[in-house]
Structure 1
């Protein structure tokens, strides 16, 4: 753990990870004008992207304005600083003059924190879920003393949304990517103002292409149009509902299936089995072209449980095409360096 509370006198790093933090901070403080960052690799091969100092400053200022962050507030940095989410926490600290508490990424970053009044934190869903499921109730006190918490990097499950209802601190799911220099839209996931729709931050403009995929224009994108593969429904000029990814549509026997819709259907049944992570996938099939399967992060389930699960899914599915042809289990999913599920690597390990 490392505390940065004086940018004119940076602390001495005590690990390789802390060395990366200090190296970036020095480059920023010395006025470097551009930085090369890698995309997370969750939707394809990781690729390098050049971001300007101006873009990163614009993003940091917008976050500060959105969440009411003030000079000397303490922000927790527990996301990988080799990628946009962690890097932007460092940039926010330097631009907004926040104090930063640096921790290497872990499943429950609050376990190692004592007597710290943290004002702002960003988590991936697995981290927040681990905190909320901990028996240590002091962790909830730590969360509830914050101004806001944001959760990004992966979809927020309905189970996690329900767990956040015990929090008084405002919790937000974020939408963004490396190309947009972190989040450009948020939705409240707890309290009275809970919403299924994302509201874009001030100054961000959105639209759709012919596929109904979102495009984005903002100061953080250097006012260049960023075209995504995310299918959305535009609710208003500053509001949208995320439906899934265009490249997560499979064609099974001539029928198009949106994988996220399948996942939303099965989630409620998996909660009772205490299975938190899973994904739908389209496997190559000689007869159908692609067949729908369900992959669960779990020890082996017996055949009767799988049969009952498929029957439950069948009873609530809109069509028979949304019913998985097979269910596979694996004890732990492969992950990208940012903690997202690496579906292709997981499938490869299953030797299907």
Structure 2
């Protein structure tokens, strides 16, 4: 089957209830930029970039583990990503979809690309923490960050199929989401792989990759992604994983976050998941230099100091319990709201 190119706009595509062609979208883009709300201006900017003469888009990486940097992403690779998402999640032309992510970032851009290519009826909503507050319709599909899902628990039944990305779904949130009839998936991906390349049902352990993607481990046990329809060469990540097969893996944590405390390797993300049900503020755990242990485990909590009872740590293993608790008034974060651990510790 011939793959559509990036100028293709499916005949079933609608934006806010209106059938639109490429020319229509360019006119709408100018209108959004001139008269729209800030989130609509971002949509307008992307539409003009998408339909210009270039065969690529320039995007910024997230900056979670280093300085954000611009990268070129081929538009055809974005089309290929959209097709893979449609096949994996069984998303047919004509479905009604809510777009409530900021279009400045890759996930928001890809919701638009999927709609053009797959023929969705797309409604734009302001990308707030409460995306379903004014939603009257029932949607077949949407994409959110976990915080949006957390603030929409009473209305998520209005979305039949939902994908979550941008941050890990905590065990506490996962337990709440499993009580909702919506089909909900946690995704794995990054700007370099043009949003998600794998997904799992919330509550499951292993991610399954999308079509035309294979995964393996390097010598550090970090994930290597071979996605020939998306990237010209394999993407070597800093995510420590357990690869089950060439299309399934279990995510363990970030290689650059691993703590070696007295010869024991500790994965902060696993410890944080155990604590997430007991600490109602933003927090993370991190290793800091220690003469005896090499690194000691420290719990870093955002906000004013308060007494944290010992019972909070009851589910942690012997080596997982923090040796110290540090309070930081305000965490450093990326433009997309992800906590930058190193910079946050620098102001402690």
State if a TM-score over 0.5 links the two structures: yes
TM bin (shorter chain): 0.7 to 0.9
1:1-352 aligned within 5 A: 3=16, 5-8=18-21, 9-10=24-25, 11=28, 12-13=31-32, 14-30=36-52, 32-111=54-133, 113-132=134-153, 137=154, 140=155, 143-189=156-202, 194-270=203-279, 275=280, 277-285=282-290, 288-297=293-302, 299-302=304-307, 306=308, 308-309=309-310, 312-313=312-313, 315-319=314-318, 321-330=319-328, 333-348=331-346, 351-352=347-348
Aligned residues: 325
8 Å Cα contact 1:119/1:146 also seen in 2: yes
State the 1:225 CA deviation: 0.7
Q: What are the Cα deviations for residues 99-155 of structure 1, in whole angstroms up to 9, with x where unaligned?
A: 3222343211111x23223221111111111112xxxx4xx2xx3243310001111
Structure 1 regions of 5+ residues with no counterpart?
none
Relative to structure 1, the CA distance from residue 257 to residue 175 in structure 2 (aligned partners, 3 Å threshold; closer, same or farther) is same
8 Å Cα contact 2:285/2:300 also seen in 1: yes
Distance 1:121 1:346 in 2: 32
Q: What are the Cα deviations for residues 321-347 of structure 1, in whole angstroms up to 9, with x where unaligned?
A: 322122234565443222322323433
8 Å Cα contact 1:7/1:94 also seen in 2: no
Distance 1:198 1:291 in 2: 31
Distance 1:251 1:340 in 2: 24
State the 1:230 CA deviation: 0.7
- TM-score, normalising length: structure 2: 0.85
Distance 1:5 1:337 in 2: 32
Relative to structure 1, the CA distance from residue 31 to residue 101 in structure 2 (aligned partners, 3 Å threshold; closer, same or farther) is farther
Distance 2:207 2:70 in 1: 27
State the 1:7 CA deviation: 3.2
State the 1:4 CA deviation: 6.8
Whichever structure has more helix as a proportion of its residues is 1
Distance 1:205 1:276 in 2: 37
8 Å Cα contact 1:214/1:232 also seen in 2: yes
8 Å Cα contact 1:180/1:220 also seen in 2: no
Q: What are the Cα deviations for residues 174-212 of structure 1, in whole angstroms up to 9, with x where unaligned?
A: 0111111111110001xxxx4111011122111111111
Relative to structure 1, the CA distance from residue 34 to residue 339 in structure 2 (aligned partners, 3 Å threshold; closer, same or farther) is same
**3-state SS of the aligned residue for 1:19?**
helix
8 Å Cα contact 2:283/2:302 also seen in 1: yes
**3-state SS of the aligned residue for 1:55?**
helix
Q: What are the Cα deviations for residues 296-336 of structure 1, in whole angstroms up to 9, with x where unaligned?
A: 3455323xxx2x33x652x54433x3221222345654432
Quote the residue 2:10 is aligned against: none
State the 1:219 CA deviation: 3.7
Relative to structure 1, the CA distance from residue 295 to residue 4 in structure 2 (aligned partners, 3 Å threshold; closer, same or farther) is farther
Aligned-residue CA RMSD (Å): 2.4
8 Å Cα contact 2:271/2:320 also seen in 1: yes
Relative to structure 1, the CA distance from residue 26 to residue 285 in structure 2 (aligned partners, 3 Å threshold; closer, same or farther) is same
- TM-score, normalising length: structure 1: 0.84
